[in-house]
Amino acid sequence: MTAAPTLAQVDALIGRGHLADARRTLDAVLRLRPQDPGALDRLDTVAIWQQDWPTARAGLMRQVRRHSGAEARYVESHLSLLFGDLPLGWDQFEARLELPGRPHPQRDFPQPRWQGAPFPGQTLLVTWEQGFGDTLMFVRYLTRVKALGGRVLLSAQGPLADLAATCPGVDGVVPFGDPLPPFDLHVPLLSLPALFRTTLATIPAAIPYLDVPDRVPNRAALAALLAPSQGRTRVGLVWAGNPTHPRDRKRSLPPEALAPLAALPGVAWHSFQLEPGTAPPLPGLVALGPLLSTFSDTAYALSGMDLVITVDTALAHLAGALGIPTLLLVTFLPDWRWLLGREDSPWYPSLRLCRQPNPGDWDGLLRRLAAELGAP
């Protein structure tokens, strides 16, 4: 009698990279035990590795059902958006506003919430939420908002205020915490894609939609650091994000993984890394981080780069909003906004997506990238 297949056998096959055999063994396990949670979870993992996205999506949806109510709809929105079903995803994404315990800095105003209708002669307050990258990504919508009405005010995180003020359609920016001027209507910034019924084909993607502000605190010092590389190919780097970010362990890479790039000739390397720590082994790497006290400083320094190579951080959104050629290093199963199975981004025309060839494989990605960029 043939022994029944086991999950231990599946794990061994996955560990050796024998995904097709692991899938067949899982199919045998599930024929015997169709609801085995361990087998179903492993099936999700194998489907993702094989890029069998229909099976992976079904499995991930099964995991969503472990949640309930607004939390389930919010988690499901990320799947819908990841798989490119944007109208459904935006509607589900509104569930974030119902989640208890999530930081929503501005929500309960006596003024009515804007529903997308024209508002001539009135003032609309658009309120930030979530992270710097989200604000940088979605302020693009304010041009479309402005076309519908009167005055548009943006409440933004303080470090972004001067930069956000360069966006067309913004009549004024109020740093969060400052007193709010009078307004007639309000709307959360991340609700704008739903109000405009955004699809992949209708994403507002005219770049640049941000510019370097007039006030750059460290302009002179940054110019002095950049001057020696005049005439060379300047490349800006970020290899790690905020360590407190929930996905940081996956999205950041060890600095030594950038070693294959050291063979590229004629490159002047510039680090935009803010957190102190070990630097990658790249010749003549110039650390700009100590002078990047504001996003205005960062925008000015980015404007001097010929290319940016970065992991998934706010700097990627800033470079994209400024229209700077950017190579974004993303995980095998990325954040929803980078979609699946494509190298371009409908959000940022100047950005190219460089995806891990296998889950967690930064080394393989960087070796391939170095070869494509011309390392001998």
> What's the confidence (pLDDT) of residue 276?
74
Tell me the pLDDT tens digit for each residue of 238-281: 998 776 666 666 778 999 999 999 999 989 999 999 877 778 89
The CA radius of gyration of the chain, in Å to the nearest whole number, is: 23
Q: Are 294 and 222 in contact (CB under 8 A)?
A: no
Kindly tell me the burial class for residue 279, based on how many C-beta atoms sit within 10 Å of its own C-beta (0-12, 13-18, 19 or more): middle
Distance (Å, rounded) from C-alpha 93 to C-alpha 266?
Answer: 45
CATH topology of domain 119-202: Rossmann fold (3.40.50)
pLDDT value of residue 202: 97
Question: According to the model, what pLDDT value does residue 247 have?
Answer: 64
CB 247 within 8 A of CB 335: yes
Q: Which residues of the chain have pLDDT under 70?
A: 1-2, 101-107, 243-249, 375-376
Interstrand relation of 307-311 and 351-355 (parallel, antiparallel or unpaired): unpaired
Instruction: Report d(CA 17, CA 50) in Å as an integer.
Output: 11
**Domain 7-98 bears CATH identifier 1.25.40:** yes
pLDDT at position 24, please?
87
CB-CB contact of 351 with 345 (8 Å)? yes
- Among residues 285, 263, 280, the alpha carbon closest in space to that of 375 is found at 263
Q: Supply the pLDDT for residue 291.
A: 96
| CATH 1.25.40 domain range(s) in the chain | 7-98
What are the C-alpha distances in Å from 40 to residues 48, 61, 369? 12, 12, 34
What's the pLDDT at 56?
80
Per-residue HEC secondary structure of 24-42 comes to: HHHHHHHHHCCCCHHHHHH
Fold of 219-373: Rossmann fold (3.40.50)
Confidence at residue 248, expressed as pLDDT on a 0 to 100 scale: 65
Residue intervals of the chain classified under CATH 3.40.50.2000 are 219-373
C-alpha 270/C-alpha 291 separation (Å) is 12
Strands 307-311 and 326-330: parallel
Residue 197: predicted pLDDT: 97
